[in-house]
Structure 1
């Protein structure tokens, strides 16, 4: 199995060559079955911890629906990015909200 690295900007699709390499590696990996006999049994505590981690991950992934008023020019720029532009908007807002330098400019 190989490690494939590729840098993709937000809203940009991965290069076709990278997708080809990934698909090829997936087909190769499928040839080797997973042997679960070597895996140890999980204790009830470990199962409980996994359930807690999964619930936390799902809570963080869940997105909340909001209504937002935008300047038409701003919205048209995002829409020009194509399908998935709302996810890009969410990513930009999340980045700005978590970057103190950006937030300080608007206080």
Structure 2
């Protein structure tokens, strides 16, 4: 009898515990929106909204309001993606690339002047 009670309580704990972990849901949700899939979903939703407006399924007022909301969300996602991209660039690699570009430009300029 004690074993059954322990078994039932442990099963209930395993089933109900994930429902009370709000932080993990919020973190998963925000990561999803920042991903490329989330951005793609926002763009496709905006496209559907445009289509429904052109088919006169929604009013102009609703269209403008929803379009503004989705564009705002898209801009937030794009800004965070841009910030992440800026943080991942290694300054030493960037400096090396710039030196190579300058050397190539100098070489091309010398070839151009020598050909005249």
User: What interval of TM-score do these two structures reach, taking the shorter chain for normalisation?
Assistant: under 0.3
TM-score (structure 2 length as normaliser): 0.24
Structure with greater helix percent? 2
Higher relative contact order (CA 8 A, sep 6+): 1
TM-score (structure 1 length as normaliser): 0.25
Q: Find the structure with the greater CA-based Rg.
A: 2
